[in-house]
Structure formats: structure tokens, C-alpha cells
Amino acid sequence: MKFIQVIEYTTTRFEEVDKLVDGWVTVTKGRRTATHAYTGLDRETPDRYIDIVVFPSYEEAMRNNKLPETMAMAERWMKLCKGEPVFRNLDVVREDNLA
């Protein structure tokens, strides 16, 4: 069953977050288990972002989270956020291809 992690956070340093994620994508190639990632900017709340990360399963998401590079990136990323990010862990119960 696919698994989605939604992360909501506020930052005034998005360019630094973006570069941090780019570095993580490079160093985890071939080992990360995330299959897709989307970042959205909340139109109604300046500096609020929402990341949506897709995994093949909850177990694969947890394996990804335990990568040393993921843990190091998350630590640096948290320092770029204002306040605590909100994490939502979702099991996909329905998927429709609307194309």
C-alpha cells in the first residue's frame, strides 16, 4: 500500500531549504525510497510550505527516514524552519489516475 508523508512548515529561508533538498537528492541516489516529492507554497499564508512525499509503503518510508543523509538533512532543515513542522503520515486508501 502506498504511503504519503505530508510536512507543513514555515520558513523565510526557502532558497536554503531548496538547496538542502537538492543536495539530499544527489547523495541518496540509488538508496532513497521516496518515489515522488512535491512542494507547495500556501497562497494564503506567506512563508508556509507543504511537502508531499510519496513512498511505496510505510516500511519503505521508515527505511528512508533512517538513512544517515536523511537524518542529517532533517536536522539542518529544522533549523531553517520557524517553529515546529507538522508531519502527517497517510496510508493511501484510494488512488485515481485522472489524466
Consecutive 10-residue averages of pLDDT for the chain (99 residues):
97 98 97 97 96 98 97 96 97 95
Task: Identify the pLDDT of residue 14.
Answer: 98
Task: Identify the pLDDT of residue 83.
Answer: 96
User: First vs last Cα of the chain: how many Å apart?
Assistant: 21
Task: Identify the pLDDT of residue 57.
Answer: 97
The stretches of 1-99 forming alpha helices (DSSP H) are: 14-27, 58-65, 68-80
Task: Identify the pLDDT of residue 66.
Answer: 97
Can you list the domains of the chain with their CATH numbers? 3-91 (3.30.70.100)
Task: Identify the pLDDT of residue 85.
Answer: 96
Task: Identify the pLDDT of residue 73.
Answer: 96
C-alpha cell at 26: 544527489
